[in-house]
Amino acid sequence: MAKVKGFIDSENLRAIVIGIEVFSRKSEISLENSLSELKELAHAAGIKTVYTMSQKKNRIEVGTYLGTGKLDEIKALAARHDAEILLVDDELSGIQIRNLESILDLEIIDRTSLILDIFANRAKSKEGKLQVELARLRYEKPRIVGGSTQLSKQAGGIGSRGLGEKKMELDRRTIDKKISDVEKAIEKLKKQREVQKNKRKKSHLKTVALIGYTNAGKSTLMNTFLRINNPLMSKQESPTADMLFATLDPFHRKVKLKDNLEFILTDTVGFVSKLPHALVDAFMSTLEEVKDADLLLYVVDVSNEEYEHQLMVTKNVVKELGAEDIPFVIVQNKKDRLSIEELEEITSPLETSVPISALTGEGLGDLIDIVEERILEDYKLVNLKISFEFGSEANYILENMKVQKHEYLEDGLYVETYLNEYDLAKYKEFVI
């Protein structure tokens, strides 16, 4: 297997990037854009890409992925550019990795192992780290015989097996045991997360989930919401960076709008093209929280050429989660990079979409109006009259509820406010 661990954040490592377009293989993303994304992934891992190459073929070479001519070309390019790594825009088998390393004398890193390593270095929570570890183990298991681990299959006597085969079997048993242990640990943490989720439900607040492609601006939008009533930076904010997978762990925060309307906002791990199945499966338990949301905000980088593809990837993941029936709004982020005409060309009249710039705040008011409208669908506008002896209740309603009108009368406070089902039951004695 490629020796991925340890290369992250090393500015000295240089890589050649290669991808193959197979005529018979249908792809949802162009090779050009896929390679561009791979280079962004390399940048996120601290690897400098010095040369990019592509090839069109009828089929992938089973043993070496690439043909002899292309391998000779890579050897020459690696020497010319002082490259140490070959980054491959596909998931390779263990044998392909081993053969390429032997022929090219380069570190071979495929797209999947690169993403896994980025995830491993970005995960902060215990559950996030375990999920990445589970994905890594599932990736490694079928590659035990490949990569840098050369297992010799020495022939034994009749009825016996070679030493290499015994070692391989032992390795597989070891990795199976590790997978089982990690799965149990994740299940335990999942139960703890259920407890936390139930606590949030007891707040009786609506939940809005940000979901979408990595680097589309979800975390920036999260922080923009958090600053509505608190313009100062704080530890409550989600970490942001202009790179892929800046945020991995789910992030829950209570948002209070200027009219006191509150809701829970959740930031989730972003997606990327050709996201490894092992990683999707491992993070599925975390993403399942999306199913409990009352509203989904599909955050998409509207300035990206692959805008429609990224939106389709987001919708597919939501469908896979069984959350396609949850109301959603398409947030066309980074509108400041496009003209009005360009925005109009990509806006669908069949879906609710809001062009915004999470960075500048442009269009945020329109998005807030839609979020409020969706949240208030389950609220009721009621008239309350609260006598002065219930001063604490009156103050709480004025400070925490969306109040349309209030007036101090001789015998108490008159309030027109929006209440959800829970609060309506709680303050029913004051309802006129």
pLDDT score for 131: 84
237 has pLDDT over 70: no
Q: Which residue has the higher pLDDT, 371 or 234?
A: 371
pLDDT score for 348: 76
pLDDT score for 101: 95
pLDDT score for 5: 40
Q: Is the dihedral of CA 291, 296, 297, 299 positive or negative?
A: positive
Place of tokens 């930076």: 233
With bands split at pLDDT 50, 70 and 90, how would you rate the model's confidence at 152?
A: very low
pLDDT in tens, 174-183: 899 999 999 9
Q: Which distant-in-sequence residues (6+ apart) come within 8 Å of 73 by Cβ? A: 53
Share of the chain above pLDDT 70, in %: 82
68 has pLDDT over 50: yes
pTM over 0.85: no
pLDDT score for 154: 34
Q: Which residue has the higher pLDDT, 120 or 404?
A: 404
87 has pLDDT over 90: yes
Q: Which residue has the higher pLDDT, 102 or 349?
A: 102
pLDDT score for 232: 58
Averaged over 91-118, what is the pLDDT? 93
Share of the chain above pLDDT 90, in %: 42
Q: Which distant-in-sequence residues (6+ apart) come within 8 Å of 193 by Cβ? A: 127, 289
SS3 420: coil
CA torsion, ordered 252, 258, 262, 264, to nearest 10 deg: -20
CB 388, CB 424: distance < 8 Å: no
398 has pLDDT over 90: yes
310 has pLDDT over 90: no
pLDDT score for 97: 93
302 has pLDDT over 70: yes
Averaged over 29-45, what is the pLDDT? 88
Q: Which amino acid is present at 375? A: I
Environment class of residue 108 by beta-carbon count within 10 Å: exposed (0-12), middle (13-18) or buried (19+)?
buried
388 has pLDDT over 90: yes
Q: Is the dihedral of CA 248, 251, 255, 261 positive or negative?
A: positive
Q: In 35-100, at which residue ranges do the beta strands (DSSP E only) sit?
A: 48-57, 85-88
Averaged over 274-292, what is the pLDDT? 71
Q: Which distant-in-sequence residues (6+ apart) come within 8 Å of 70 by Cβ? A: 18, 53, 55
Q: Which residue has the higher pLDDT, 156 or 401?
A: 401
**Taking Cα atoms as reference points, which of 219, 222, 14, 239 lies closest to residue 122?**
239
